[in-house]
């Protein structure tokens, strides 16, 4: 029975890694769709979000079932509770990629991002991709050093977010309110995605150590 229980725990961990990888792919493809006005790609990202949602629902159901049947304690209990929280973070990250793809779809056939902000959005997409890939590594390998480092990686996203806002607040902004709203939302989507990735890594740190990592360690 205990071997079966730990097989189930391992399966939950595998699902979390799969969710993280799917989120990374979704964010990368959503950024491409946004910057290239690729409607087909945007639609694919929107459709694929249902797969991430389904994985979360299945993982949560399995986790709750194990909690009810096995009544785990100590590290096993921490694993299950932390898994529930990580799955919620990952599902939300998938939603944020979905939202980015919806902006691309809404503005098609035009490109949603003004030319002078394309590089900043591309950089935000690249940072998101890097952060999510590192989060997947942390989830799979319980790499505490990488989990702590992700806090510093998130600083890069915050700087890009501030840079975007400075452009939007310029008195000479030429693109109107609608585009400014789009860019404000897009900046928030990328920034929040990175925040959720940091949250996932903090939860892994807690899972392994039973303690919370200090912010910006």
DSSP string for 69-138: HH---HHHHHHHHHHHHHHHHHHHHHHHHHHHHHHHHHHTTS-SS-HHHHHHHHHHHHHHHHHHHHHHHH
Is 170 part of a structural domain of the chain? Answer: yes
Within a domain: residue 214?
Answer: no
Residue 160, Cβ neighbours under 10 Å: how many? 22
Dump pLDDT digits (tens) for 80-129: 999 999 999 999 999 999 999 999 999 999 999 999 999 999 999 999 99
Give ∠ CA 105-110-112 in degrees, rounded to 5: 65
* 189, pLDDT greater than 90: yes
The model's confidence at residue 214, banded by pLDDT at 50, 70 and 90, is low
pLDDT at 210: 86
Measured distance CA(19)–CA(87) in Å, rounded: 8
Inside any domain, residue 130: yes
**C-beta separation of 68 from 80 below 8 A:** no
Q: Is residue 217 part of a domain?
A: no
Closest CA to 153 of 183, 172, 133: 133
Q: Does some domain include residue 14?
A: yes
Q: In terms of residue numbers, what domain contains 138?
A: 2-209
> In the Cβ-directed half-sphere of 110, how many Cα atoms lie within 13 Å?
9
Q: Is 205 a domain residue?
A: yes
pLDDT in tens, 142-168: 999 999 999 889 999 999 999 999 999
Q: Is 109 exposed, middle or buried (0-12, 13-18, 19+ CB in 10 A)?
A: exposed
- The CATH number assigned to the domain holding 174 equals 1.20.58.220
The model's pLDDT over 10-51, given as tens digits with 9 standing for 90+, comes to 899 999 999 999 999 999 999 999 999 999 999 999 999 999
Query: For residue 216, is it within any domain?
Result: no
């Amino acid at each position: 029975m205990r071997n079966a229980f730990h097989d189930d725990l391992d399966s939950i961990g595998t699902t979390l890694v799969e969710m993280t990888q799917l989120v990374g792919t979704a964010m990368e493809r959503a950024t491409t769709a946004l910057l290239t006005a690729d409607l087909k790609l945007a639609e694919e990202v929107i459709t694929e979000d249902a797969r991430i949602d389904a994985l979360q629902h299945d993982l949560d159901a399995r986790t709750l079932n194990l909690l009810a049947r096995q009544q785990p304690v100590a590290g096993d209990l921490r694993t299950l509770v932390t898994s529930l929280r990580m799955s919620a973070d990952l599902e939300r990250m998938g939603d944020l990629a979905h939202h980015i793809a919806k902006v691309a779809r809404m503005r098609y056939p035009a490109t949603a991002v003004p030319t002078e902000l394309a590089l900043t959005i591309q950089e935000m997409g690249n940072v998101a991709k890097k952060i999510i890939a590192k989060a997947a590594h942390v989830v799979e390998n319980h790499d505490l050093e990488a989990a702590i480092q992700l806090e510093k990686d998130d600083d890069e996203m915050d700087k890009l977010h501030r840079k975007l806002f400075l452009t939007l607040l310029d008195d000479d902004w030429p693109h109107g309110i609608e585009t400014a709203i789009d860019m404000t939302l897009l900046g928030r989507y990328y920034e929040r995605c990175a925040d959720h990735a940091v949250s996932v890594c903090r939860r892994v740190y807690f899972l392994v150590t039973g303690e919370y990592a200090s912010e910006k360690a």
